[in-house]
Structure 1
């Protein structure tokens, strides 16, 4: 019997209202606006694979349902919103600059809280003494990550994560469809332009609600990470005026090929006809802007030196525990024996955070010119990276 052919129209990009009905949700007007802008951009600018079409329906309906769970919990228990999120620590830096490794190590401190991968799929607090190995939600998400790695070979080599690993904040803000996460997996320049105009404040208002839901009425010491924070600093400081920042720095020329390759790997399961040159141009433009925004951030009068710490990638990776000790000292936080022991065990179990060594990715593959990049990033490199050379 011949295989049944599934027509493309069977999995066409759905409307926002169809997804909302599927999810049984009542999203805010801002969330609907983001969803409509994203769907319009995907429909016009992304050539989805069959997997991309099927996964879009599942993923977007999940985001709508999860956001409804958070909003319903706050309505049912106003004490959640009354519990502060005190002085959260945000890890900043260009991609591939050691931010994930630092986040994972700081997650080992039992006095810190971080958002976890499984909590993005099944939102719920993570209680003290939690055993991920015996939790059905964690097991389910690990299976999903295994499947994605099969669809995107090399993903875990470049980004070694599991279900209970720390997750980036762009996954939280994706629940209200105001997140740069979608640009990693889809070609959506129109949506990115919409988001640049709309701003990120609504997303971080929800972000705070999500953290309050996870901390479940008990104020926590949050450690948060996402390279995209570079583009959302105004919103972060509006919602978290006491926020603190660690900024990791690494020569952009050394990592842009890796950033472009990771984008290519992430898009492969979802899109047809991926253009490596277009990805290269996008990555170069995006992170030239990001580097300049970090320079501007350093000049902000509303974020005094006591609330931020700059660190070289080379300093951190050469001696992670000493570097982390400096972070704790700078922010006047106790670096306990329990935290040090847990972090040391993590380092010994997974040196370099589990990242494998490989030959540098060729910039020419993505039509990137080294002299042009050196010129574009010169102010950033001269300010932050010269000492590491």
Structure 2
């Protein structure tokens, strides 16, 4: 069974527009009876932040829409629990880089006008550490732009956290981007660009480093939006990723889900989403022009971070490595003693991964860890 983590007191998307919530409820079949109280609190929060969203649109809407994205972003590709957050935090240490902040991701429609009111309120509801891996949580740290997209639109894979019984549909439509009409794709692209433009305003025009595991399955769409984007793919031992994913979802699903689902059914979704994402990436990575893609193994980044970062900068022709290196070293210093979670792996887990993800194990020449 899964149990809610007491540190997670806030639903991820309770600030998103009421119209989005109504669309989600209509599309995904409502909520479980015992979750109706949670839904009521979410809808009240959404309604209460409506004035801030209207004010932001009136005051900043035109400026954001007209903001050019002059420098192509750096896109971190990698499935969840593969080290994407660690790499993201590192790359934004470069003073020429910025990211979508956690604050913007949580309040994407009102982060410019609502900071004085919302930031202290949100900060009080966030844990100091991420419950799944003990990494720092801060409103100023970089965050997945997908969270901001989900806070503005029904067109996000992340809504499977609220509606887990619709997880397959959320993935196929909004990560794999299958079954969408041209108009729906255009609407998704517009939302993505809105998030990136607002982040560009907040960052003062610096190059953005963007990270969303969903992008692993939609490389052609990202290339259409940002033809000059630089891509860094990070991969981690799939056996470890599987155990880490199941640990994460047992912590973050209960406080966000509005529907009941058997864990075995949700576990099948975990297997399906990784399998399809990795197969899509392996097929699509050859679409990325030469000089715009490099690949990193998490295990190498963990053991020799500056060496791997220097290679990333060289492979992608990113400027000012010497200056950036000092900032990376400063970030890494206090974290040298950080210990990530260790997960026991039994033969049943290895057999499950081999049955569905063996192609990824072989593609990057991994081997099963010792069982125990």
Structure-2-length-normalised TM-score: 0.78
Give the one of 232, 248, 253 matched to 2:239. 253
Would you say how many aligned residue pairs link Structure 1 and Structure 2? 339
- 1:166 matched residue in structure 2: 142
User: Deviation at 1:219?
Assistant: 3.3
- 1:77 matched residue in structure 2: 63
In the alignment, the residues of structure 2 paired with residue 351 and residue 204 of structure 1 have an alpha-carbon distance, to the nearest angstrom, of: 39
Is 1:73–1:213's contact at 8 Å kept on the other side of the alignment?
A: no
Give matches, 1:1-389, under 5 Å.
Answer: 35-44=21-30, 49=35, 52-58=38-44, 60-61=46-47, 71-72=57-58, 75-77=61-63, 81-120=66-105, 121=107, 122-124=110-112, 138-146=119-127, 155=131, 157=133, 160-174=136-150, 175-189=152-166, 192=170, 195=174, 196-198=178-180, 200-216=185-201, 218-271=204-257, 273-300=260-287, 303-351=288-336, 356-360=340-344, 370-386=350-366
1:254-296: CA deviation from partner (whole Å, max 9, x where unpaired): 2112212212211212347552212211100110111101111
More divergent stretch after superposition (107-116 vs 185-194): 185-194
In the alignment, the residues of structure 2 paired with residue 384 and residue 60 of structure 1 have an alpha-carbon distance, to the nearest angstrom, of: 44
Is 1:321–1:340's contact at 8 Å kept on the other side of the alignment?
A: yes
In the alignment, the residues of structure 1 paired with residue 212 and residue 38 of structure 2 have an alpha-carbon distance, to the nearest angstrom, of: 24
- 2:10 matched residue in structure 1: none
1:83-141: CA deviation from partner (whole Å, max 9, x where unpaired): 2242211101121111100001111111101011112325239xxxxxx9xx8755433
1:28-47: CA deviation from partner (whole Å, max 9, x where unpaired): xxxx6x65542124544656
Query: Partner of 2:124: helix, strand, or coil?
Result: helix
User: Deviation at 1:203?
Assistant: 2.5
User: Deviation at 1:180?
Assistant: 1.4
User: Deviation at 1:186?
Assistant: 3.4
User: Deviation at 1:76?
Assistant: 3.5
**Which structure has greater helix proportion?**
1
- 2:5 matched residue in structure 1: none
Distance 1:182 1:260, change over 3 A: same
Distance 1:338 1:46, change over 3 A: farther
User: Deviation at 1:62?
Assistant: 7.7
Is 2:76–2:233's contact at 8 Å kept on the other side of the alignment?
A: yes
Query: Partner of 1:298: helix, strand, or coil?
Result: helix
Distance 1:258 1:59, change over 3 A: farther
Q: What stretches of structure 1 of length at least 5 have no aligned partner?
A: 1-18, 24-31, 126-131
Query: Partner of 2:179: helix, strand, or coil?
Result: helix
Distance 1:74 1:118, change over 3 A: closer
More divergent stretch after superposition (273-282 vs 313-322): 273-282
Query: Partner of 2:239: helix, strand, or coil?
Result: helix
Structure-1-length-normalised TM-score: 0.75
User: Deviation at 1:340?
Assistant: 2.1
In the alignment, the residues of structure 2 paired with residue 337 and residue 258 of structure 1 have an alpha-carbon distance, to the nearest angstrom, of: 34
Q: What stretches of structure 2 of length at least 5 have no aligned partner?
A: 1-15
User: Deviation at 1:388?
Assistant: 11
